Amino acid sequence: MDSVTGHPDVPALKSGPSPRPEVRAWQHAAARRRAVVPVLLVSMLTTVVGLLALPGASTAADPGEWTVTSLEVDALVESDGIARVTWDIRLDLGSDGGVGPVITLPERRTLAADPHHEAVLSYAELSASSRTGAPTDIAAESRDGRLTLRVGRPDSPVTGEHQYTISWTVSGLTDPGTARGDELAWDALIDGALSSRIDSASIRMTGPAAILSATCQRDGHGDCPGLAIHESEVEITEKRLGAEEGLTVSVVWPTGTLEATAEPRLVSRRDLVSLVQPSMLTIGGSVGLSLLLAGGLAAWILRRRSAAARAIGTVPGLRTADDGQEVTAKPPSGVAPGVVSALLGVGGDSGAMATILDLADRGGLTVEARGPVAQQDRCGWRLSRLGGATGQRAQDYEAALLEALFEDGEEVVLPRDQERWRRALTVTRIDLEAAAIHRGLLTVPPSRQRLSWALVGTGLIVLSAAAVAGLIAAGMSILWALPPLALGAVAVSAGFLLPVRSADGERLRHQAIAYRRYLESLGDQDPEPRGRWRLEEHLVWAAAMGCADRLLDAYRRSGGEAQSQGLPAWLVGESASVEALEALVGLAGPRSSWADRLRPRHRPA
């Protein structure tokens, strides 16, 4: 057994033949695949705008610049609920001219007594004429709950003031048999109905019987002052309506005035508020299905984790500390520090750095600290390969690391060769996971498991977003998109929670954690008399487990920094010191920039 590392399967380094070309090709391909986690978030927003093309100067015409000098609306409501509506419009298209009026009508009507449904407004018998001889072709287009009527001929624009008579029938305005009687709710003018300002508007609605009550609301102004009731008629007169202002009329007749056929056809509301408003079926179904799917996956994850915990059993060589946790002063035997780092899932390139320090301990290379370590902009490193080491051949991942580092010579200078350094660390991190799998300690690479479950979870979350659009289109509650969303969230977590270690790997991990507790305790209080532990004995393992800074801090506070003979023999140069070791180990940490990685990390005494 090596007296420094404590693992018999990693003897002193001797350069051996490089791995087979196909193996190295696979390793480099794996490094390229996993170095950057592919996250594909594709967002597409398509806006379709219909433009009315006019030839010559008329193409510049804007309905917002036109003026409706007068608008007379006449509606006759029959007992079957069908209303025959006629618009008499005088429209000034100005000198630039245009095709003709554009009228927007609602195709849905909200119900005050039923927030989950809308009444469907159906239009028929469209017709148009003009006493001034303007073209009166009608083109109807239904989109987003509104019916747009375009009157005129695109190839025959007109200028100046013209008169238009436009009529249609509409059903769905009436609600027979309400608590107040038979009612009518009519958006006589919706906001933007003509996209033009209206100088004068008069509305007359005639019903099948005497009117009990009637109201009129003008957008932004409250009640209409010009409302008058004459038995079965309602008349409304308004002046100067803006292009975005509307008028809503409500009428109540005695119960029985309207026939049963006047009942409107209802559909589920499609606005966001109504789609969120839950019914008991929606709550029970969506939440129940979410618990069934996401809860089932979570239960499976917990079962796997519980089985992994039971597989640990009793690990020999551990003792219980005062806080009740198990610790040991000896590192795991029979396994290299870098492999243990992969087993623990330590962040950054701690395992690769531990492998470099391990190789240096075994005579494979030296590290020269160059320049003042406390000044990161002037600090540098030279790693020199030693070709005279004897012993058995290195492990494959060690040979690959040396090949990647020293592919252009026998030394590496940092930060000059930082790109080569980073590539070598990335390849080694992947190779260490492969070595742990080969040893039967890992069942799957942790990075692959996290990526696989992240892709599954992200796919489910994207499916949930697509389901929202589909549910809105179908008029159903968007709460039904909750099950795939909940399942996707649990799936993303599964990549981090599912065990990736075998039973042997779990036991070795338990032992490694106990040893790491011992190393961390050296930074809190020295459990042994001063000078009884040696830095070289624990440094490689502390680097592998991500606690080298605490170990070096404990070494400094124990007075070891004053003993130059206590530093590793492979650390050379005038700047060799505890601070240099801290900065060197920090090169593998998860920091944001190369300058940050060169900055030494000091812990307060």
Q: Give the model confidence (pLDDT) of 442-463 as tens digits.
A: 888 888 888 999 999 999 999 9
Distance, in Å, from the CA atom of 282 to the CA atom of 592, rounded to the nearest integer, reads 47
Which residue, among 55, 56, 85, has the nearest Cα to 72 in the 3D structure? 85
Average the pLDDT over each of 254-268, 273-287, 333-347 and give the range with the smallest value.
273-287
3-state secondary structure of 89: strand
The answer, yes or no, to whether the previous bond of 154 is cis (omega within 30 of 0) is: no
Which residue, among 423, 427, 347, 414, has the nearest Cα to 380 in the 3D structure? 414
Four-point Cα dihedral 388, 393, 398, 400, nearest 10: 90
Sorting pLDDT into bands at 50, 70 and 90, what band is 319? low
CA distances from 339 to 257, 330, 412, 535 (A): 87, 16, 24, 21
Across the range 497-505, mean pLDDT stands at 87
**The pLDDT of residue 346:** 78
Q: Is the pLDDT of residue 114 over 90?
A: no
**The pLDDT of residue 11:** 42
Which residue, among 595, 489, 601, has the nearest Cα to 556 in the 3D structure? 601
**The pLDDT of residue 15:** 40
Decide: 507 and 313 in contact? Cβ < 8 Å: yes
**The pLDDT of residue 316:** 56
Residue bearing tokens 């993303």: 492
**The pLDDT of residue 456:** 94
Decide: 236 and 226 in contact? Cβ < 8 Å: yes
**The pLDDT of residue 387:** 66
Q: Which two tokens stand for residue 539?
A: 């440094």
Q: Which domains does the chain have, with CATH numbers?
A: 65-268 (2.60.40)
Distance, in Å, from the CA atom of 153 to the CA atom of 156, rounded to the nearest integer, reads 5
DSSP for 512-540 reads: HHHHHHHHHHTTT--SS-TTSS-HHHHHH
**The pLDDT of residue 452:** 92
3-state secondary structure of 73: strand
Q: Is the pLDDT of residue 304 over 60?
A: yes
Across the range 80-101, mean pLDDT stands at 93
The rounded percent of the chain whose pLDDT value lies above 90 is 33
**The pLDDT of residue 594:** 36
Q: Which two tokens stand for residue 232?
A: 């079965």
Q: Is the pLDDT of residue 373 over 70?
A: no
**The pLDDT of residue 61:** 54
Decide: 174 and 253 in contact? Cβ < 8 Å: no
DSSP for 132-186 reads: T-----EEEEEETTEEEEEES-TTS-B-SEEEEEEEEEEE--EETT-SSSEEEEE
> pTM score, two decimals?
0.52
Looking at every residue in the chain, the average pLDDT score rounds to: 79
Across the range 179-208, mean pLDDT stands at 88
Dihedral sign of CA atoms 399, 401, 406, 412 in order: negative
Residue burial 194-219, b: 16+ Cβ < 10 Å; e: rest: bbbbbeebbbbbbbbbebbebebebe
Which of 64 and 178 is assigned the larger pLDDT? 178
Interval 382-418: pLDDT, tens:
999 986 443 445 788 898 999 888 988 888 888 888 8
Interval 558-605: pLDDT, tens:
765 544 457 888 998 888 888 888 888 888 765 433 333 343 443 333
Sorting pLDDT into bands at 50, 70 and 90, what band is 275? low
**The pLDDT of residue 168:** 96
Which residue, among 462, 492, 467, 463, has the nearest Cα to 479 in the 3D structure? 467
The rounded percent of the chain whose pLDDT value lies above 70 is 76
Which of 26 and 352 is assigned the larger pLDDT? 352
Interval 464-483: pLDDT, tens:
999 888 877 776 778 888 89
Decide: 82 and 169 in contact? Cβ < 8 Å: yes
**The pLDDT of residue 32:** 42
Q: Which two tokens stand for residue 434?
A: 């492969």
Which residue, among 244, 240, 185, has the nearest Cα to 215 in the 3D structure? 185
Q: Which two tokens stand for residue 313?
A: 């059993």
**The pLDDT of residue 100:** 93
DSSP for 414-480 reads: ETTTHHHHHHHHHHHHHHHHHHHHHTTSBSS-HHHHHHHHHHHHHHHHHHHHHHHHHHHHHT--GGG
